[in-house]
């Protein structure tokens, strides 16, 4: 599924800092929900620093960005499918 959060063709850049190098796919809801993130297009491009970087990365210590992306993904998902379906699938409210 294409991302519903970012147009990968028009915005081929880090979702956060807009730099264009070392881009990686980040699935907003990871672990057990990674497949669901893929299925519903809840993913963004992040540069390596903001993806796996130890300090600034969402898989590192950047909890604020990690949470911000989840809020946004929930909002966009709910615009399309509603809150009830969101809760049924992902089970955790971030808003």
Q: Which residues bind Zn ion (CB under 5 A)?
A: 14, 16-17, 26, 47, 50
**44 near 3, Cβ under 8 Å?**
yes
Q: How far is the CB of 82 from Zn ion (least distance, A)?
A: 26
Q: How far is the CB of 86 from Zn ion (least distance, A)?
A: 20
The residue (of 14 and 42) whose beta carbon lies closer to Zn ion is: 14
Question: HSE on the CB side for 51, CA within 13 Å?
Answer: 20
The residue (of 14 and 73) whose beta carbon lies closer to Zn ion is: 14
The residue (of 65 and 77) whose beta carbon lies closer to Zn ion is: 65
Q: How far is the CB of 90 from Zn ion (least distance, A)?
A: 16
Q: Which residues of 55-79 are buried (b: 16+ CB within 10 A; e: fewer)?
A: ebbbebebeebbeebbebbbebbee
Q: Please name which of 24, 2, 5 lies closest in space to residue 13, comparing C-alpha atoms.
A: 24
């Amino acid at each position: 599924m294409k991302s519903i959060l970012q147009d990968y063709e028009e915005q081929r850049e880090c979702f956060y800092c807009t730099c264009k190098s070392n881009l990686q796919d980040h699935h907003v809801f990871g672990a057990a929900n990674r497949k669901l993130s893929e299925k519903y297009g809840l993913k963004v491009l992040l540069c390596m620093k903001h993806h796996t970087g130890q300090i600034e990365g969402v898989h590192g210590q950047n909890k604020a960005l990690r949470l911000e992306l989840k809020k946004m993904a929930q909002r966009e998902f709910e615009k399309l499918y509603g809150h009830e379906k969101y809760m049924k699938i992902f089970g955790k409210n971030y808003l």
